[in-house]
């Protein structure tokens, strides 16, 4: 079997797949922390135990994600761009566009008919339009990440959030709260702002089917905001937080086969 480890900025994910490359044997995730290598190691052992397999059964390990170069047990590393594309394509075979919003990155990948990455775009230096941005907002409004979706659904007129800088948006939200704006309008406004940022990356011609993945895809309401902004349907990937690790495991198998 083969393993993929996605060491993201906010969470580490591990997926173990069988020799046939179709069956997921076991998977797990843990919040990112100070000693990433040890966190990843413990998680990996946990996933092995869950799958009832031992370390020597794993033929190859590929690490991906922000911290991919600090995973000593990995045989090699592949970027999250390629891994997410492969992972999503495995789950949704006809996908043409992948939107991945993670802890500190948002990315858009355009695939060709064979599922290979044609090109990609990414946010630059700042964490605007990412999971971290939503965390800051939730924190400021006294909500958990899980509350954001239901809260946004209540909004009838989303607030206009002009600043996509985490720091300045915080100031802007303080202003909106002071002005008596309802929390649901603020949350909905933030989701709309993130979605418009993605549209700027995608251009108007993102090819369907469009699949949304990454940790932020688990926050309800985000896909609706993306759909509205893009003007076309957006499907949430199955297991959105795991597609990077899944892609890494699938690529580990492909690499092993080609040796």
Contact positions vs other proteins (CB under 8 A): 66, 78-82, 105, 114, 116-120, 122, 124-125
* Of 7 and 187, CB closest to other proteins: 7
Which of 120, 189 has the CB closer to other proteins? 120
Residue 113 half-sphere exposure, CB side, CA atoms within 13 Å?
0
Rounded Cα distance, 81 and 189, in Å: 28
Least Å distance between CB 180 and other proteins? 33
Q: Cβ closer to other proteins: 27 or 82?
A: 82
Closest approach of other proteins to the CB of residue 18, in Å? 24
Considering beta carbons, is residue 6 or 80 the nearer one to other proteins? 80
Q: Report in angstroms how near the CB of residue 226 gets to other proteins at its nearest.
A: 22
CA distances from 195 to 162, 237, 244 (A): 13, 17, 21
- Supply φ then ψ for residue 109, to 5 degrees: -120, 130
Residue closer to other proteins by CB (options 56, 114) is 114
Which C-beta is closer to other proteins: that of 41 or that of 121?
A: 121
Residue 81: alpha-carbon gap to chain centroid: 11
CB of 122 to other proteins, least distance (A): 6
Task: Give least dist CB 69 to other proteins, A.
Answer: 9
HSE of 127 in the Cβ direction (CA atoms, 13 Å)?
17
- Rounded least distance, CB 81 to other proteins, Å: 4
Q: Write the CA distances from 173 to 161, 194, 243, integer angstroms.
A: 8, 15, 32
Rounded distance, CA 221 to CA 148, Å? Answer: 8
Closest CA to 146 of 159, 158, 135: 135
Q: Find residue 15's DSSP bridge partners.
A: 4, 27
């Amino acid at each position: 079997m083969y393993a993929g480890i996605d060491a993201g900025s906010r969470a580490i994910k591990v997926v173990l797949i069988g020799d046939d490359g179709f069956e997921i044997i076991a998977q797990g995730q843990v919040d990112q922390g100070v000693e990433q290598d040890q966190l990843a190691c413990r998680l990996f052992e946990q996933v092995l135990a869950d799958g009832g397999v031992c370390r020597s059964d794993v033929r190859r390990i590929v690490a991906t994600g922000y911290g991919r170069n600090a995973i000593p047990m990995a045989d090699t590393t592949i970027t999250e761009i390629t891994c997410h594309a492969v992972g999503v394509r495995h789950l949704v075979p006809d996908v043409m566009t992948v939107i991945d919003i993670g802890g500190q990155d948002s990315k858009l990948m355009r695939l060709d008919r064979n599922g290979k990455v044609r090109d990609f775009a990414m946010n630059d230096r700042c964490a605007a339009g990412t999971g971290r941005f939503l965390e800051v907002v939730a924190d400021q409004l006294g909500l958990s990440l899980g509350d954001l979706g239901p809260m946004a659904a209540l909004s009838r007129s989303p607030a206009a959030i002009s600043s996509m800088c985490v720091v300045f948006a915080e100031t802007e939200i303080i202003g909106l709260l002071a002005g008596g704006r309802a929390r649901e309008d603020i949350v909905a406004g933030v989701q709309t702002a993130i979605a418009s940022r993605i549209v700027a990356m995608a251009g108007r011609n993102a090819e369907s089917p469009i699949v949304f993945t990454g940790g932020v895809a688990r926050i309800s309401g985000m896909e609706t905001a993306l759909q509205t902004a893009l003007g076309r349907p957006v499907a949430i990937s199955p297991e959105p937080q795991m597609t990077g690790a899944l892609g890494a495991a699938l690529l580990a198998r492909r690499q092993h086969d080609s040796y």
